Amino acid sequence: MNPDFGRSIKSSIIYILVIISISLLTIPASITNNIKVTVASPLAPVQKIISQTSDFVKNRFKKLASFASNAEMNEELEKEVFLLKNKIVKQQNDINVYKQKLDVVSEFKKNNESDEKPIIADIIGYDVSNFRKSIIIDVGTKQGASVGDIVVFGNTLMGRISAIGRSSGRVILITDPASNVPSRLLESRTQGIVQGTADGTCIMKYVPRQTEINESDKVISSGIGGAFPKSLYIGDVIEVKQKNAKLFKDIKIKPRVAISKIEHVLVIKKQKVENIPR
Amino acid sequence: MPWVTIISVILCISLVQTTVLQHISVLGIQPDLFIIFLVFHTLNAKPERSLHTNWSIGLAKDCFTEGLFGLNTVLFVLMGYIISIIKDNIYGRHLATQISVTFIISIIYNFLYLFMFSISFTAAGLLPLALKCPLIATYNSIIVPPVFWLLNRFYTSFGFPSLRRKIR
């Protein structure tokens, strides 16, 4: 073959591939999310099996490692148990008081909210990029989940479903740099926006400089905007910085739950905006 | 047949990357098998074939990550092109070369990805993310020897013509 002809074919292939790639960038997110989920769905069962197997192997390794340190820990734990038993007696009294209050709240909730049950989901995959934080769960439209549903672990906010297929869904975590969660500090009630940093921590932005914040203060979701429900635990403050010229403080937050340590999450249905008084 | 091999490798890499590699992450960093496969394939296969493959690897990565669809595809074609330019002037079969090329390409790819990412989002912690790039590149380089060995075995076993000729 003529070398010039071969070279021109090669360069035209490059141009065509680059043009196709760039045109992919312009496709709306709703369509690309569908493409992603369609491609990922057939792999979901295999991902689930591999995830379960690797989790099992990981747990076995952890157990083996913990045997060595168990003997030293036992003595410390015995002391701790003694102290905790004393605390339990005091707390039982508190629980009785709270129980009465809770009965009143439950009665109110029963009448005002739909009784849709949360969906338990297994984590079957993680994001392949080092700069993005998302997970794949084995829950899709078949189980009743939809885009925008909230994902929690216990009472801790984990993220939000960004794309959904028939039997799997992608969850954008609060530690993703593109995630923004309206939040507030539990003690001072000051509001801000929690943004991910992709290194496992978050940053709370737009907190006024005059606000007094201590390390280990708790951060919860504020519910403003309606994307996330309010009062879900996000994490604890681990670092507060104040630069002279800045209007806002730089607050570093450690999420309550490390995603690598859990295997299941709970999907809460997005609250429907209805019955709004006009 | 070569396409079956390539698609099988891409599928295997996608599965391993989304499930197992999270457990061997160090400082929140996991090795990027897609970029290692890109380097392996571009160093070993014919330029025309590596172009298609790099495009497919990028597309596969886009399918399993959050964010702009097509960004990895563009960057992977670009990275493949960079390797194919320097390929004739280096001895790609030597382990030191493979490690060095993986390190350099990982750094360029991650910085370009972050640059594109910073245009799309006003992320708060871009500087810490930029500092992660050399660490990611180092981790990728460290696992090059076993991954290249496995890929070599896989390719020769499943009869990848151009590579078999080179290896022999």
- Secondary structure class of A159 (helix, strand, coil): strand
ipTM of the complex: 0.79
Position A112, amino acid: N
* Partner-chain contact A134 B66, CB within 8 Å: yes
In this complex, the residue of B61, B68, B132 whose CB is nearest that of residue A128 is B61
Residue A110: in which H helix or E strand, if any?
A: helix A44-112
Name chain A contacts of B77, Cβ cutoff 8 Å.
14, 17-18, 21
CA quadruple A175, A180, A181, A186: dihedral sign: positive
Domain boundaries, chain A: 3-60, 119-268
Asked whether the beta carbons of residue A130 and residue B30 sit closer than 8 angstroms, the reply is: yes
Inter-chain touch B74–A36, beta carbons under 8 Å: no
Q: Are the Cβ atoms of B15 and A205 closer than 8 angstroms?
A: no
| Percent of chain A whose predicted confidence (pLDDT) is above 70 | 83
Question: What does the pLDDT look like over A194-221, one tens digit per residue?
Answer: 988 877 888 888 888 888 888 888 888 8
Report whether pLDDT(A105) > 70: no
For chain B, give the DSSP string.
-HHHHHHHHHHHHHHHHHHTGGGG-BTTB---HHHHHHHHHHHHS-HHHHHHHHHHHHHHHHHTSSS-TTHHHHHHHHHHHHHHHHHTTS-TTSHHHHHHHHHHHHHHHHHHHHHHHHHH---TTHHHHHHHHHHHHHHHHHTHHHHHHHHHHHHHHTT-HHHHHHH-
How do residues B96-143 score in pLDDT, each as one tens digit? 888 999 999 999 999 988 888 877 766 556 777 788 888 999 999 999
* Dihedral of alpha carbons B19, B23, B29, B34, sign: negative
Of A142, A140, A146, A189, residue with least CA distance to A169: A140
Q: CB-based contact (8 Å) between B18 and chain A? A: yes
Tokens of B93: 């079969």
Among B19, B32, B38, the strongest candidate for a mutation testing the A interface, having the largest count of A CBs within 10 A, is B19
Q: What is the DSSP letter of A213?
A: -
Q: Which of A4-18, A49-63, A107-121, B116-130 has the least mean pLDDT? A: A107-121
DSSP state of A259: G
Contact A200 B51 (CB under 8 A): no
- Domain A119-268: CATH superfamily is Rod shape-determining protein MreC, domain 2 (2.40.10.350)
Residue of B52, B56, B66 for testing the chain A interface, max A β-carbons within 10 Å: B66
Looking at the partner chain, which of B19, B62, B67 has a beta carbon nearest the beta carbon of A47? B19
Closest residue to B74, CB basis, from A18, A198, A260: A18
